[in-house]
Chain A
Amino acid sequence: MNFDFSDEQKMLREQARKFLSGKRTTQSARRILEGTGGYDRELWKDVAEMGWLGTAIPEAYGGLGLGPLELCVIAEEMGRALAPLPFSSTVYLFTEAVLLAATEGQKRKYLPSLARGELIGTFARVERAGAAAPKSIRTSFRSGKLSGRKIAVSDGMDADVGVVLARSGDEPGERGLCLAIADLSGAGVSRRVEDSIDPSRKHAEITFDGAPAEPLGAPGEGWRIAATVLDRAAVLTAFEQIGGADVCLATATEYAKTRYAFARPIGSYQAIKHKLADMYVNNELARSNAYYGAWALHTASAELPLAAAAARVSATQAFDYAAKEMIQIHGGIGFTWEADCHLFYRRSRELALGLGAQRSWKDRVVSELETRNTA
């Protein structure tokens, strides 16, 4: 049994943690939250220099040529650091989509500059509130031109390029869907920043009006590719969520040890202890589910859809509980603008919704279980 990261991967984790903790990323996240800028440009350069943006990009395309396990390790540290970077949009979504579905020419075109941090990417899927089901996708991609409107696009203001889910054919439902890569600073694209619950990562509305774009993958395959991209991103995001949830647990625990009420540390009251114990249990269950997701990614297992959905649900629940109870344990001070609690509370919800809500991932878990039990 070898269900753990390797010593090299653990060294990478240590290195990443040390590096990020030296960058005062939480303060930086607060600056982005309070300002108009989309991300910490200084930190983005550093992260590119460390090679992290190309972690899973093959060496032939300028990446480090490591695998998804190393990316999981870095994702967890990004989550701990609350790093205000377009990392997940660029790395888990755009880069993964290119690795999964692009032509050789497209890989040569995009991957090296992605690895160097010269290109920021995102994935524009959603068009309206509610579930992002195939029939909700109206944006069209015909004769190389995109038209339509996408909302709640993570890092959409800063992304140079975006993978766009669009309708290319007349077939109804998912069979008419395709993916296209658009230059988001090019002609026919307009965008505006949207107000969001977590402005430490800016969201954008992007409107395409006959914007030139190139297909990614075959027509009719858009939904299927998107689902796989989301599965892969769900595992990586689960590690981010666990990183965040662990910081909430550690911060709330530390506060409970040092904050006195009624002449004793509040951490000596069972009402507080039991919350923190539950937080610990949730985090460990989420970690174990995420490990399984990492294994499924690493081995390209047919288990990936179930492993990813379970990792996603488990990590979402863990971060949600940890972030809200961290505020509760801090009491009034935890609800002030100056305390960092709300940064995690906001991020927990942003990550919980970013790849689609828990409800749909839970349904995915059961659908996958059903296919296994019919045999």
Chain B
Amino acid sequence: MDFEDTPEEAAFREQVRQWIHTNAPTQASGGDVLGERGGGEWFRQQRAWQAKKAEAGYAKITWPKEFGGLGGTPIQQVIFNQEEARGGIGGNTPFAIGLGMCIPTLMAYCGKEILGRYVKPALYGEEIWCQLFSEPAGGSDVAGLRTRAERDGQDWIVNGQKIWTTGAQFSDYGLLLTRTDFNAPKHKGLTMFYLSMKSAGVEVKPIRQASGASGFNEVFFSDVRIPDSQRVGEIGQGWQVALTTLMHERLAVGGGQGGGLDVPQLLALARELELEDGPAIRNASVREKIADWYVRSAGLKYTTYRTMTALSRGQQPGPEASIAKLVVAAKLQELSAFALELEGEAGALKGADAPMHGAFQMGWMAAPGLRIAGGTDEILRNVIAERVLGLPQDVRLDKDVPFNQLPSGR
């Protein structure tokens, strides 16, 4: 039991460290912490770095060489990510959804011609992809979506609305899940397409989140015409295709989803603040809370190490890898609320007027979104209960019933 690289891993780490050192941009790219992205300059940097990585085969290490990857292992990808993070770069890029979910789905279902056209520009960061699945009527229940695609000769005509689409405002292409048969049961009437986000009839509107930030969009489709050649998978097989996409949702190994707010920051705050009976850090109830969150943070960190160990041994990571977001989101909300509590009346302030430049206020305002995005707390618990523990599904009212006869509450 140790934390050491194998000799091969160490050699690879040294190789990428050298490469990053030589090639990394001089200016750190700044974070996309909780849904906010930088402006044009940030984009330019991201694209330039992506192109360099693609040129060297590092943009997608596990992809085969014919697609511009390195034909490497998952642990090599993790090592590269770690070294990027060490250099203050990488993290949540605008290319992650395209390369992590959309393009792998095309790889599973599309022919050489299409792949020849789309893979390389995505890899080099020249074309950005978004994933158009969630709808107002289909959030946790993704397959409940209502966006309609109707056949018109060699084309399909799409009408409807998507929501919570990350990056739609700067995406070139989208992977779109539609309903092509309203008479079929819910999961059987779906069909997947890809389309240009510049298509006539596509309108992207930013959503203003409760926090005031805008990291997501609504996307409206009005008589959008998509050629049948852009269909991904068979008609009516859209759900199977979507499962492929979701399966590729990469395990965020080592990903810090808490916006950099964790025990060290709380500890720093507790040292700075005075309570009724002296420094907050000397207060027993404060210490107890800090310890509670520390053991959860440390538990997650070492769970990541267990996952990496499985990858290093060429094994599939165990189900323990699925708990991270559930733990991180709840912890962020509780920890930042507690920090505000410690700040007393001044906890109601924010920005430069608040202690530590309002970091905990930002965390507290962002936390509700984190508990919902990418699977709500409740869905994640269902996933653990059903897929890990093997508990039976809830009673389903939507199986084998034509979609247009399902109750929808409206």
Beta-carbon contact of A366 and B1 below 8 Å: no
Majority SS of interface residues in chain A?
helix
Beta-carbon contact of B381 and A273 below 8 Å: yes
Q: Which residues of A contact B394 (CB under 8 A)?
A: 268-270
Beta-carbon contact of B388 and A268 below 8 Å: no
Decide if B378 is an interface residue (CB 8 Å cutoff): yes
- Of the candidates A3, A5, A256, A269, the one whose C-beta lies within 8 Å of that of B302 is A3
Among the listed stretches B18-26, B96-104, B200-208, B320-328, which one makes contact with chain A, having 4 or more residues with CB under 8 Å of it?
Answer: B320-328
Decide if B397 is an interface residue (CB 8 Å cutoff): no
**CB proximity to A under 8 Å, residues B1-55:** 1-6, 9
Decide if A118 is an interface residue (CB 8 Å cutoff): no
Beta-carbon contact of B298 and A289 below 8 Å: yes
- Of the candidates B1, B288, B392, the one whose C-beta lies within 8 Å of that of A3 is B1
Encode contact with A along B292-311: 1 for CB under 8 Å, 0 otherwise: 10111011111101101111
Q: Which residues of B contact A276 (CB under 8 A)?
A: 385, 389, 391
| Min CB–CB distance B196 → chain A (angstroms) | 41
Task: Give Cα A10–Cα B306 distance, bound, in whole angstroms.
Answer: 15
Beta-carbon contact of B309 and A3 below 8 Å: yes
Beta-carbon contact of B299 and A362 below 8 Å: no
Decide if B290 is an interface residue (CB 8 Å cutoff): yes
- Of the candidates B303, B391, B393, the one whose C-beta lies within 8 Å of that of A256 is B391
Q: Which residues of A contact B75 (CB under 8 A)?
A: 1
Chain A, Cβ-Cβ closest to B320: A284
Beta-carbon contact of A273 and B391 below 8 Å: yes
Decide if B351 is an interface residue (CB 8 Å cutoff): no
Beta-carbon contact of A314 and B295 below 8 Å: yes
Beta-carbon contact of B299 and A289 below 8 Å: yes
Encode contact with B along A274-300: 1 for CB under 8 Å, 0 otherwise: 101110110011111101101100110
Q: Which residues of A contact B395 (CB under 8 A)?
A: 264, 268
Given A3-B1, A313-B295, A278-B312 contact (CB < 8 Å): no
Decide if A66 is an interface residue (CB 8 Å cutoff): no
Beta-carbon contact of B391 and A285 below 8 Å: no
- Of the candidates B291, B305, B323, B393, the one whose C-beta lies within 8 Å of that of A285 is B323
**CB proximity to A under 8 Å, residues B368-401:** 378, 380-382, 384-386, 388-395
Encode contact with B along A282-326: 1 for CB under 8 Å, 0 otherwise: 001111110110110011000000000110011001000000000
Task: Give Cα A243–Cα B264 distance, bound, in whole angstroms.
Answer: 31
Q: Which residues of A contact B320 (CB under 8 A)?
A: 284, 287-288
Q: Which residues of B contact A6 (CB under 8 A)?
A: 1
Given A265-B392, A285-B303, A362-B298 contact (CB < 8 Å): no
Beta-carbon contact of A366 and B2 below 8 Å: no
Beta-carbon contact of B303 and A284 below 8 Å: yes
Q: Which residues of B contact A292 (CB under 8 A)?
A: 298, 302
- Of the candidates A1, A268, A365, the one whose C-beta lies within 8 Å of that of B291 is A365
Task: Give Cα A118–Cα B154 distance, bound, in whole angstroms.
Answer: 86
Task: Give Cα A287–Cα B384 distance, bound, in whole angstroms.
Answer: 17
Chain B, Cβ-Cβ closest to A312: B295
Given A273-B386, A273-B391, A298-B1, A369-B299 contact (CB < 8 Å): no
Beta-carbon contact of B295 and A317 below 8 Å: yes
| Min CB–CB distance B76 → chain A (angstroms) | 12
Q: Which residues of A contact B287 (CB under 8 A)?
A: 362-363, 366
Given A288-B299, A362-B292, A365-B294, A267-B5 contact (CB < 8 Å): no
- Size bracket, chain B contacts: 35 or more
Beta-carbon contact of B385 and A277 below 8 Å: yes
Beta-carbon contact of A281 and B1 below 8 Å: no
Chain A, Cβ-Cβ closest to B301: A288
Given A273-B381, A292-B298, A313-B291, A2-B3 contact (CB < 8 Å): yes
Task: Give Cα A285–Cα B327 distance, bound, in whole angstroms.
Answer: 10
Q: Which residues of A contact B385 (CB under 8 A)?
A: 267, 273-274, 276-277
Decide if A370 is an interface residue (CB 8 Å cutoff): yes
Task: Give Cα A265–Cα B75 distance, bound, in whole angstroms.
Answer: 40
Q: Which residues of A contact B378 (CB under 8 A)?
A: 270, 274
Decide if B352 is an interface residue (CB 8 Å cutoff): no
**CB proximity to A under 8 Å, residues B305-340:** 305-306, 308-312, 320, 323, 326-327
| Min CB–CB distance B9 → chain A (angstroms) | 8
Beta-carbon contact of B299 and A314 below 8 Å: yes
Given A270-B394, A273-B382, A277-B385, A288-B302 contact (CB < 8 Å): yes
Decide if B263 is an interface residue (CB 8 Å cutoff): yes
Decide if B269 is an interface residue (CB 8 Å cutoff): no
Decide if B354 is an interface residue (CB 8 Å cutoff): no
Q: Which residues of B contact A269 (CB under 8 A)?
A: 394
Beta-carbon contact of B1 and A268 below 8 Å: no
| Min CB–CB distance B352 → chain A (angstroms) | 25
Chain B, Cβ-Cβ closest to A6: B1
| Min CB–CB distance B292 → chain A (angstroms) | 7
Q: Which residues of A contact B128 (CB under 8 A)?
A: none
Chain B, Cβ-Cβ closest to A299: B2
Encode contact with B along A1-22: 1 for CB under 8 Å, 0 otherwise: 1111110000000000000000
Chain B, Cβ-Cβ closest to A363: B287
| Min CB–CB distance A8 → chain B (angstroms) | 12
| Min CB–CB distance B334 → chain A (angstroms) | 14
Decide if B281 is an interface residue (CB 8 Å cutoff): yes
Task: Give Cα A280–Cα B383 distance, bound, in whole angstroms.
Answer: 12
Task: Give Cα A364–Cα B45 distance, bound, in whole angstroms.
Answer: 45
Chain B, Cβ-Cβ closest to A273: B385
Q: Which residues of A contact B3 (CB under 8 A)?
A: 1-3, 295
Task: Give Cα A291–Cα B3 distance, bound, in whole angstroms.
Answer: 12
Given A1-B312, A3-B309, A362-B288, A369-B294 contact (CB < 8 Å): yes
Decide if A373 is an interface residue (CB 8 Å cutoff): yes
Decide if B365 is an interface residue (CB 8 Å cutoff): no
| Min CB–CB distance B331 → chain A (angstroms) | 11
Decide if A253 is an interface residue (CB 8 Å cutoff): yes
| Min CB–CB distance A91 → chain B (angstroms) | 20
| Min CB–CB distance A113 → chain B (angstroms) | 30
Given A274-B385, A277-B384, A281-B327, A291-B306 contact (CB < 8 Å): yes
Report which A residues bind B (CB closer than 8 A): 1-6, 69, 249, 253, 256-257, 264-265, 267-270, 272-274, 276-278, 280-281, 284-289, 291-292, 294-295, 298-299, 309-310, 313-314, 317, 359, 361-363, 365-366, 369-370, 373
Other A-B pairs beyond A3-B308, A284-B323, 9, CB < 8 Å: A1-B4, A268-B391, A269-B394, A280-B388, A288-B303, A289-B302, A313-B295, A365-B295, A366-B267
Q: Which 7 A-B pairs give the minimum distances between C-beta atoms?
A: A285-B299, A362-B291, A273-B385, A288-B302, A277-B381, A277-B384, A3-B305
